[in-house]
Amino acid sequence: MEGTEGTLRIIIAGGGTGGHVVPALAIGRELRDKHAAAVHYIGTARGIESKLIPEAGFHLDLVRSGQLKNVSLLTRIHTALDVPLGILHCINLMRTFKPQVVVGVGGYASGPAMLAAVILRIPTVVYEPNAVPGMTNRYLGKWVSAAAVNFAQTTKYFRNAEVTGVPVREEIFNLPPRPADAPPRLLVTAGSNGALVFNETMPYIVARLLEVVPGLTIVHQAGVRRLDQTRAEFAASGADPARWSVEAFLTDMPQQYAAADLVLARSGSTVAELCAAGKPSLLVPFAAAADDHQRKNAEILAEAGAAVMLLQRDVTADTLFNALRDLLVDPFRRASMSAAARSLAKPGALEKIAAIVLREAKQQAKPKG
């Protein structure tokens, strides 16, 4: 990991889940491809960055780090012991690579890397997509140089925060309108493993939904682990198999959004895509999400009229059926929700985030004194 004189050098730190790694990769590509930056990543072996980042052609250094919240006392002790070692490791990496800016995207590796950068007085930029930051970003908020956030409500947690939005593929902003005579389509989606609450509840209501909503079709993303069981339960429901599909993954999300009239989803980073696509949604926040950030994300969309929120503790076959039915049979309400979702969309996020990083790099290059 060696620095290159005269080259813009950026470290992006963090990861764990797709919500961290996908935007981290998008930011890295933007800086590399449009600004000729040398971009290195810092992550952990336990996160999906260990696979996705090298596959994308980037250098990845691994540090030891783990959870401090919602885990056992033993795990917290191990993590606490790893933190100083992780910081020292990151300090050594940064002294070798000599980055002008360190970008933290959240996740296990973000804390040690950002603390190391603060200690070395390297400019730092936090990327925070959620309404309320996680523990690491809240702690670092007043120490970092700048922040790129998704919601105006989040700016209060950081120095020099700017509302940039979340990196979303350009084609999602430019979906063709749904034909007026198209039969309604429900899209059910969650993270790469699906959502257990959707997989367990939808088979009980699919036949009823198809009965009360003429022409309805359903695409349900179940995750690979629950694919066979969920498919079998859909089939056992007696619902017309020509009107539903259960898949492990949905790799063609722009096309899936384009074909959907309503989306049933969690409320992590997906909310930015829903707004970009202008799709009305029924959001069921993941109850165990760190700092309950998914509920807070969903509340912002619900308050704006872009979504309906149903807390996971309140999900039953009847409550989910009633909420979905009410939205699917009311095209005027969905049209209003769609307009509200689009009003929350923030195009050009990548360019804005890159501009913040470049600005901080220029500040670093200025002579001191």
Residues 6+ apart with CB under 8 A from 117: 11, 90, 94, 99, 102, 123, 124
Strand order of the β-sheet with 59-62 is 59-62, 38-43, 9-13, 101-104, 124-128, 146-149, 161-163
Domains 9-166+347-365 and 171-344 share a fold: yes
Q: How far is CA 254 from the centre of its chain?
A: 16
In this prediction the pTM is: 0.85
Residues 6+ apart with CB under 8 A from 125: 101, 102, 103, 104, 144, 145, 146, 147, 148, 353, 356, 357, 360
| Whether the Cβ atoms of residue 327 and residue 308 lie closer than 8 Å to each other | yes
- Helix (DSSP H) and strand (DSSP E) numbers for the chain: 14, 13
Instruction: List the pLDDT tens digit at each of the 369 positions of the chain.
Output: 555 556 899 999 998 877 788 899 999 999 999 999 999 999 988 888 999 999 999 999 999 764 445 544 444 445 556 678 889 999 999 999 999 999 999 888 888 999 999 999 999 999 999 998 887 788 888 899 999 999 999 999 999 999 999 999 889 999 999 998 899 999 999 877 789 999 999 999 999 999 999 999 999 999 999 999 999 999 999 999 999 999 998 888 999 999 999 999 999 889 999 999 999 999 999 987 666 889 999 999 999 999 999 999 999 999 999 999 999 999 999 999 999 999 999 999 999 999 999 999 998 766 555
In the chain, where the domains are located: 9-166+347-365, 171-344
CATH architecture of 171-344: 3-Layer(aba) Sandwich (3.40)
In this structure, the strands spanning 59-62 and 38-43 are parallel
CATH architecture of 9-166+347-365: 3-Layer(aba) Sandwich (3.40)
